[in-house]
Structure 1
Amino acid sequence: MVALAGTAVRLRSAGGAESVVLASYLMAAPDFAVTSTEPLPVLVPFGAASDAAGAGAGGGG
């Protein structure tokens, strides 16, 4: 990655060719990978944390 401007990502190949793609398109590509960094944290799907928190609450009266 050479530059990031809003949602546009400028990429440069090993051969020097440049291209600009949307960040969402890049991250959705099946062959996209983040390299040379620490592993990304595991995220809980939206709503799953609140569902799990209320699962054992009892809720009866």
Structure 2
Amino acid sequence: MPRRKKPNDYGTGIPYHEVEALARVLLPEIQAFFESEEGQREFAEWKAKQQAKQENKV
């Protein structure tokens, strides 16, 4: 009889079904934030900082 593969908890020790439930709650909130004006502004600032870091590495 084949053994069932245990889902990877990525070393957190948190059961997969709990991570999945948390993601179902958080994802819509995260999406709403990034669709908002404030989220768009913060993302643009983050993106500019990342671009500056890349340019400084070269």
For Structure 1 versus Structure 2, the TM-score category normalised by the shorter chain is under 0.3
TM-score normalised over the length of structure 2: 0.23
Greater relative contact order (CA < 8 Å, ≥ 6 in sequence): 1
Q: Considering fraction of residues, name the structure with more strand.
A: 1
Q: Considering fraction of residues, name the structure with more helix.
A: 2
Q: Determine which structure has more spread, i.e. the larger CA radius of gyration.
A: 1
